[in-house]
Structure 1
Amino acid sequence: MDNPRWVQRPEGANWGDFSPDDQLGRLNLITPEKVRQGVAEVREGVTFSLSLPLDYPGGNLLNPRRYPPVLRPTMRETMPNFNAAIGDQVTDVVCDDLVILHLQYSTQWDALCHVGSRFDADGDGVAEKVYYNGFRADEDIRGPSSLADCGMGDGTSRESTSGATRLGIEGMAAHGVQGRAVMVDLRAHYGDARTFVGYDELMRVMEADGVEVETGDMVCLHTGFGQRVLEMRKTPDAEALHSLCAVLNGRDGRLLNWISDSGLAVLIADNYAVEGLPAQEGHETPCAQMPLHEHCLFKNGIHLGELWHLTPLAEWLRARGRYRFLLTAPPLRLPGAVGSPANPIATV
């Protein structure tokens, strides 16, 4: 398979299957027909917001590198542009603000450039830093060369110091994320206990609930974690954050094969990372610390949604014996970003 960026692709990868330069991955499976199927699931016209407030979970105990958003007023000359009377002869009072936002702090999408791997794409025996479909670190996904170049500080810098010229989240936004979604209710079967869910466990839940996943469906995993985070009211308990609710077992090869074979377009969960971190032991090294992220983002172009709020919708669907719904969930159209907040809307 001819490709200008690679001569070999990782085992189990779909690089090049959509096109040599594809940047959408399995979003290509969300076709007009899948949108029509999603619309056909709307019966009552009831909507659910599937986003946590973007200042949840609170603090930085879930991920020490990510912090809650900070709102600040813009400036009008030398004064804050907030509750500002803009002149003696006019009646307008104006508020205008900015936000310092960690894009993957709360309810979010992972872009395909969020996680790559060191892999010998050139076939010369030397591993390179590469991303989905062979796009390259420092060429297609660029970052600062040193901490001094990061533009950290008070957030007033107007210059970008990193960005993806390929695989950025803006591709997902431009394509649109709307179609038929499927709810898999892990919480109904496993409660709030920390449970690693592999292929066998997932199949038992889906069989018990009569859930089927077809090509192009968007799969949502309800674990209850988002609800528990919401109940902590921005003062989360560190131990609870890392010991609650179901997570996928990224080391389970049969589970990863099912993700590939199912034809799902995207994979979403209301927990921190979809998969359990740290991953389970017992795998030869070197290996991925986040094997499900590697399989989905790096190998197969499957966007991951994390920290969604699925409990009210999951309970509504279960009470009515339903599991399919229309999902509308675009990210921010922010060029070059490796992830984005989302305010997904389910319509039933």
Structure 2
Amino acid sequence: MTRWTKRPEGSTWGDFGESDQLGRVNLLGPEQILKGVREVRDGQAFCLSLPLDLPGGMVLNPRRKPPRLSGTERDGVPYMNFAMETLDASAIDVLSDDQVLMSLQYSTQWDSLAHVGAQFDADDNGTPRKVYYNGYAAGTDVLDAPHADDHADCCGSGGHAMGALKLGIENFAVKGMQGRGVLVDFTRHYGRERKLIGYNELAAILKSDGITVERGDMLVLRTGFAELITEMAGQPDPDVLHNACSVLDGTDEKLLQWITDSGIAAICADNYAVEAYPARDRPGKKSLLPLHHHCLFKLGLPLAELWYLKDLAQALHASGRNRFLLTAPPLRLPGAVGSPVTPIATI
């Protein structure tokens, strides 16, 4: 192993091979797909994506801008309702052709394993450095963004490329991200109360609702947060959002150990960040996003945020079920560290 001498305690680095870029997504093989397919009984499909212009504004994350649509252009002319007779007098065609500028993690999304790394002493020499899952290195495997005055193309042919040469979101796209989803409905138990969910709370709900989570399943968490966003109709109230709905407690070591032991392949939630941010304070050097650190950095377990789960949850509850076929490939965009996604649940 050339990228690291020491791996983080409790991590899966190297377990899926020296060159692995999928982590626990490796568990989404034929067996898991067939498990998901066997959950299809009614032939109903549910879109689990918000409209990608929600939440609206930038109050959830001041770095992430909402999508901006525009027409593609030729010679300065936007091609929206463009009469092709301009090019050929005999043409009757009218052409509309558009493009979008957006933050890839603005709305319903996947995090890739290049989304969150850590300062870690991977060389076991007393000097931490920036690394990601399986020891992939910042600056070498995940390239820095160019400064504005560099005038470089992102992941393109400019003087300074940028992006994840390793661990990019395209790896999940090729894998397909299809298997069995298991829904845990916090909303049914806690409503929209701001509730910090640790292992004890999760275990109590699994028991009371008769939910069994097995190795390779994708855990899907409904908190009601995305439903609150849709009701705000593009005008999100940060004071309400930051104090509403259940959220995982990333500082709960028993919860993190359960995630490790359960063998789940992914966590998909309808809220922002999946875990409470900022996390509860702890002494010493620490991660501000301990669940992200545990899942993305140590286990290679992807996280998904801002999924819309109300309709699916109601249909599953009505039939006394909690499992379904989940199909959720991200964009096959080489080098990206996150991606919009339109997940489909089939029951």
Matched, 1:146 2:162: no
Match of 2:187 in 1: 187
1:315 aligns with 2:303: no
* Whole-angstrom CA distance in 2 between matches of 1:96 and 1:135: 39
Match of 1:27? 25
CA displacement at 1:11 relative to structure 2? 1.0
RMSD: 1.5
2-structure distance, mates of 1:17, 1:150? 40
What SS is found at the alignment partner of 1:144?
coil
Q: Any idea what the Cα deviations from partners look like across 1:141-194, whole Å, max 9, x if unmatched?
A: 002353423759xx9x98584211100000000011111110011111111011
Counterpart residue type for residue 266 of structure 1 = A
2: CA distance between counterparts of 1:151 and 1:65?
A: 20
Letter in 1 for 2:210: G
Which residue is 1:9 aligned to?
7
Question: Counterpart of 1:18 in 2: which secondary structure?
Answer: coil
Q: Determine the structure 2 residue equivalent to 1:134.
A: 135
Q: Structure 1 pair 214/150, CA: closer, same or farther in 2 (3 Å)? A: farther
Listed one character per residue, the Cα deviations across residues 81-108 of structure 1 (whole Å, up to 9, x for unaligned) are 1111112211010001110010000000
Q: Tell me if structure 1 keeps the 8 A contact 2:146–2:162.
A: no
Q: What is residue 215 of structure 2 aligned with on the other side? A: 215
Cross-structure match for 1:68: 66
Instruction: State the alpha-carbon separation in 2 of the partners of residues 206 and 149 from structure 1.
Output: 52
In 1, Cα distance between equivalents of 2:145 and 2:168? 17
Number of aligned residue pairs: 342
Task: Say if 1:80 and 1:147 are closer, same or farther in 2 by CA, change over 3 A.
Answer: closer
TM-score after normalising by structure 2 = 0.96
2:121–2:129 Cα contact (<8 Å) kept: yes
Which of 18, 22, 38 is the matching residue for 1:40?
A: 38
Which residue matches 2:75?
Answer: 77
In 2, Cα distance between equivalents of 1:145 and 1:217: 38
Structure 1 residue 226: Cα displacement:
0.6
Paired amino acid for 1:280 = R
CA–CA separation in structure 2 for the residues paired with 1:261 and 1:89: 67
Is 1:163 the equivalent of 2:163?
A: yes
1:108 is aligned with what amino acid? Q
**TM-score (norm. length: structure 1):** 0.96
Cα deviation for residue 345 of structure 1 reads 0.2
Aligned to 1:204: 204
Contact 1:296 1:303 in 2 (8 A): yes
Q: Which residue of 1 aligns with 2:253?
A: 253
Secondary structure, aligned partner of 1:267 = strand
- For residues 293-337 of structure 1, the C-alpha deviation after alignment (integer angstroms, 9 at most, x for no partner) is 000000000000100001111111112110000000000000000
Q: Distance in 2 between matches of 1:192 and 1:265?
A: 27
Encode CA deviations 1:124-152: one digit per residue, 9 max, x unaligned: 10001000000000000002353423759
> What secondary structure sits across from 1:98 in the alignment?
strand
Shift of 1:76: 2.5
- The range that moved more, 222-231 or 76-85, is 76-85
Counterpart residue identity of residue 89, structure 1: S
The change in CA–CA distance for 1:259 and 1:194 in structure 2 (over 3 A counts) is same
Q: Using the alignment, how far apart are the partners of 2:171 and 2:163 within structure 1?
A: 13
* 3-state SS, counterpart of residue 289 of structure 1: coil
Is residue 108 of structure 2 the alignment partner of residue 107 of structure 1? yes
Partner of 1:264: 264
Provide the rounded CA distance (Å) in 1 between the counterparts of 2:176 and 2:218: 13
Q: Secondary structure at the match of 1:212?
A: coil
Q: Distance in 2 between matches of 1:277 and 1:150?
A: 34
> Aligned partners of 1:218 and 1:191: how far apart in 2?
23
Corresponding residue for residue 334 of structure 2 = 335
**Residue 280 (structure 1) aligns with:** 280
Please state how far the C-alpha of 1:202 moved relative to its aligned partner: 0.4
Cα distance in 1 between the residues matched to 2:77 and 2:190: 54
The one-letter code sitting in structure 2 at the alignment partner of 1:144 is A
Provide the rounded CA distance (Å) in 2 between the counterparts of 1:270 and 1:303.
14
2:300 is aligned with 1:301:
yes
Contact kept? 2:145, 2:163, Cα under 8 Å: no
Aligned equivalents of 1:306, 1:150: Cα separation in 2: 32
User: Partner of 1:175 in structure 2?
Assistant: 175
Instruction: Give, in whole Å, the separation in 2 of the partners of 1:149 and 1:98.
Output: 24
Give the SS at the match of 1:275: coil
Match of 1:239? 239
Q: Which runs of 5+ in 1 are unaligned?
A: none
CA offsets 1:35-63 (integer angstroms, 9 cap, x no match): 01100000010000000000000000010
Determine if contact 1:41/1:324 at 8 Å carries over to the other structure: yes
